[in-house]
A and B are shown apart, each in its own frame.
Chain A
Amino acid sequence: SQTIHQWPATLVQPVGSPLSLECTVEGTSNPNLYWYRQAAGRGLQLLFYSVGIGQISSEVPQNLSASRPQDRQFILSSKKLLLSDSGFYLCAWSVPQRVAYEQYFGPGTRLTVT
């Protein structure tokens, strides 16, 4: 069966520090991968998605970047965090070429920028 991992679960970082969040998927090949941010009490904002190694599409211009160095690894990064980067970050995957494209989510990372 498929499993998705995210780490760390929680993170407190000062403004101006770098960020690296990692997501890995097990039990599937060539998944579509997604990074979302969820602000408190709000819906999900799609940040990046990837259909293959090295292929990244950005949805919202911002302080963050993403990379996909391996088929089942997706990394969210920042060189200098802003207060507005605080939130709940969710990684998700879906099976490409399926009719529904339902997404499967990781447990999330709670990021607090101080």
Chain B
Amino acid sequence: GNSVTQMEGPVTLSEEAFLTINCTYTATGYPSLFWYVQYPGEGLQLLLKATKADDKGSNKGFEATYRKETTSFHLEKGSVQVSDSAVYFCALSDRTNAGKSTFGDGTTLTVKP
């Protein structure tokens, strides 16, 4: 079956630090890859996506590149802000099966001023 493994948290950074959250996946087919963000007490929001190998998804200064050879989709941001504090989920969707998604366990990011 499909699975997603994320870097364990929590992660605590100072404002303007560089962020990397690692994500690797196992999939039987050719999935689409996503990063979602969840703020306290809310549902998940799509942060960025990539649909094929070497695609780079980007949004709000966050980036992730679909690496098929290493089955990875690491999230990066050059300079984090306090407002980036949230839980980040890596996920994949199975295009052959109604878009069923598999999520990682989430990584909690806290950014301190």
- B34's closest neighbor in chain A, by CB? A102
B93 at the A interface (CB under 8 A): yes
How far is A59 from B2 in the complex, measured between Cα atoms in Å?
13
Report, as a range, how many residues of chain B touch the other chain: 20 to 34
Residues of B within 8 A of A110 (CB): 41
Choose the segment among A68-76, A77-85, A93-101 that binds chain B (4+ C-beta atoms closer than 8 Å).
A93-101
How far is A15 from B104 in the complex, measured between Cα atoms in Å?
30
The interface on chain A, measured as residues whose beta carbon lies within 8 A of the other chain's beta carbons, has a size of 28
Choose the segment among B13-21, B71-79, B94-102 that binds chain A (4+ C-beta atoms closer than 8 Å).
B94-102
Query: Given A44-B89, A90-B43: A101 and B95 within 8 A (CB)?
Result: yes
B89 adjacent to A103 (CB under 8 Å): no
A43 adjacent to B106 (CB under 8 Å): yes
B101 adjacent to A101 (CB under 8 Å): yes
Instruction: Give chain A interface residues in 46-96, CB to chain B under 8 Å.
Output: 46, 49, 51, 57, 59, 90, 92, 94, 96
B32 adjacent to A107 (CB under 8 Å): no
How far is A34 from B103 in the complex, measured between Cα atoms in Å?
13
CB of B15, distance to nearest CB on chain A (Å): 25
- B residues with a Cβ closer than 8 A to A are 32, 34, 36, 41-46, 49, 51, 89, 93-95, 98-106
- A residues with a Cβ closer than 8 A to B are 6, 32, 34, 41-44, 46, 49, 51, 57, 59, 90, 92, 94, 96, 98-108, 110
